[in-house]
Amino acid sequence: MNKAESILAIAMKRGFFFPTAEYYGSKAGFWTYGHLGTLMKRKWENLWRDYFLNLSPNYFEIEGNSILSEDVFKSSGHLEHFKDVLPKEEQTKEKKTFSMMFDVKIGTTGKEIGYLSPETAQNAYLSFKREFFALREKLPFGLAIIGKAFRNEISPRQGFFRLREFTQAELQIFFDPDNIDDHPEFDRVAKYKLRVFLVEDRKNNRIEELSCEQLVKKLKLPKFYVYHLAVAQKFYLDILKLPKNKFRIEQIPDEEKAFYNQYHWDFQIDLESFGGWSEVGGCHYRTDHDLKGHQKGSGENLTVNVNGKSIICHILELSFGLDRNIYAIMELSYKEDKDRTYFSFQPNIAPYQVVVLPLVKKDGLPKKAIKVYEMLREEGINVGYDETYIGKAYYRQDEIGTVYCITFDYDSIKDSAVTIRFRDNKKQTRVRIKKLPEVLRKLFNGQINFEKAGKLVK
């Protein structure tokens, strides 16, 4: 099997994700998160929330609806523009394109039409006026949404990477366009180097490393926009800890940009499964397209008064395909050696950071091991419990990416210590049970290396 096939086999076998409604043959583009995938997905969501919502005290999360009325998508431009080209064999004079939105009937008559939203963003724009006044009329302010989006792809062929029902994490930042050439925190990232793939670099396939201030000067980009490119890269490299050489930010040329974007740069990860650089998110300057469209379509006045002037806010969007990010992390973490396969997940994204194992299922060891498990759980450690032959348990935990295995053995009864095994190199060390929470937290945070966590077992 190639890498993609191996990852998929483990994902389906162990409960990361699998095709939806397999009993009925499944449909392409629909996948279910299993128990491990759901744990990992929730961790990614919380990392994203903790990072992006803390960029400003005026950024908040909301939750909207998946079904919106037809009028919303007339005003947003999706009814006109959100289409794909049919395969030649299906084209007719009357139908040369295909709407990528799922339509639904609303009410008892079936005459009122709605659509499953193809992006979470519209809920933020529809909530703009309420939230602007609720948040005391301050700019900039941001509305974040983590939710479902739906796109009726004609023929999704990339497994878990291209879905018809998927999860987005998006932050819509509303701001005064007169302030786009500045950001109060720009000086903090001015010297920070971005890994960029410019339109001019396509011919020689070269990635450049340019500081934020160099990018502003070279391409005449607004500081407000470039600041958000920087914080997005920091999320991937500093929080998710992806390998630097596997990440880049691509400048999208005018002819390839989404219809609503003035600036459009994609966050991309180099994935062998899909032949190279693959989009996992983007930074989009949507100007006043969205609020103007909804103002015109609804008749609602969406201008606001800020510092004595009347404006329609412009929008900068940070958008992330959550499912694509999960798959990318799995591929970049996938490892093989002579006797096993495993995922080298970082502790902050692994489904389980720790699992507690009894050496054998007799002589009271399981009962004592469960007490260690319960103690760690009460301490807030992300811990699981497994009870089987120890060799098989190690193999299974490696395969699902558990960082540390803690084994309660016969010696544990005598010395009140347990053996910790590190997934990546299989090394083992002995640690006193009462010290476990402290040692584990230091390991998770990188405050100590494994060799200094306890007494190494040879």
Q: What is the mean pLDDT of the chain?
A: 93
Whether 458 shows a pLDDT value over 70: the answer reads no
Average pLDDT (441-457) is 90
DSSP letter assigned to residue 436? H
Confidence (pLDDT) at 259: 75
Given a cut of 60, whether residue 90 has pLDDT beyond it is no
> Average of pLDDT values for 212-238?
98
Tell me what pLDDT residue 80 has. Answer: 84
Q: What is the pLDDT of residue 313?
A: 97
d(CA 304, CA 290): 15
For 217-221, 309-313, 387-391, which range has the lowest pLDDT when averaged over its residues?
A: 387-391
pLDDT at 89 over 70: no
Amino acid at 402: T
Token pair of 104, please? Answer: 């639904």
Specify the CATH number of the domain 3-65+122-332. Answer: 3.30.930.10
| Digit-coded pLDDT (tens) for 256-297 | 887 788 999 999 999 998 889 999 999 999 999 999 999 999
How high is the pLDDT of residue 160? 79
- Least confidently predicted of 90-99, 110-119, 195-204: 90-99
Q: What is the pLDDT of residue 82?
A: 81
What is the tens place of the pLDDT at every residue in 96-144?
877 889 999 999 888 899 999 999 999 999 999 999 999 999 999 999 9
Q: Confidence band (pLDDT; 50, 70, 90) for 388?
A: confident
Q: Quick one: DSSP state of residue 126? A: H
Q: 456: part of which helix (H) or strand (E)?
A: strand 455-457
pLDDT digits 0-9 by tens, 14-69: 999 999 999 999 999 999 999 999 999 999 999 999 999 999 999 999 999 999 99
Domain 3-65+122-332 and domain 352-457 have a common topology: no
Q: What is the mean pLDDT of residues 87-95?
A: 62
352-457 fold: Rossmann fold (3.40.50)
Question: Which residues make beta-bridge pairs with 340?
Answer: 337
Above 70 in pLDDT, residue 86?
no
- Please give the DSSP secondary-structure letter assigned to residue 127: T
Least confident range from 78-82, 178-182, 409-413: namely 78-82
Lowest mean pLDDT among 184-198, 206-220, 222-236, 383-397: 383-397
Q: What is the pLDDT of residue 144?
A: 98
User: 3-class DSSP state for residue 26?
Assistant: coil
Q: In the structure, what pLDDT confidence band is assigned to residue 252 with cuts at 50, 70 and 90?
A: very high
Q: What is the mean pLDDT of residues 342-353?
A: 97
Task: Say how many residues make up the chain.
Answer: 458
Calculate what percentage of the chain has a pLDDT beyond 70. Answer: 97
Position 91 confidence tier, pLDDT thresholds 50, 70, 90: low
| Omega within 30 of 0 (cis) for the link into 222 | no
Classify strands 247-251 and 193-197 as parallel, antiparallel or unpaired.
Answer: parallel
Angle formed at CA 222 by CA 225 and CA 122, multiple of 5 degrees: 40
Domain ranges, ordered by start, for the chain: 3-65+122-332, 352-457
Residue 81 banded pLDDT, cuts 50, 70, 90: confident
* Averaged pLDDT for residues 159-177: 93
Quick check: 309 pLDDT over 80? yes
Letter string b/e over residues 180-205, b meaning 16 or more CB atoms within 10 A of that residue's CB: beebeebeebbebebbbbbeeeeeee
DSSP-derived 3-state class of residue 82: coil
Strand duo 103-106 + 112-116: pairing: antiparallel
145, containing H or E segment: strand 141-150
**233 in helix, strand or coil?**
helix
Rg (CA), the chain: 25
Q: How many CA atoms lie within 13 A of 312 on its CB side?
A: 15
The confidence score (pLDDT) of residue 1 equals: 78
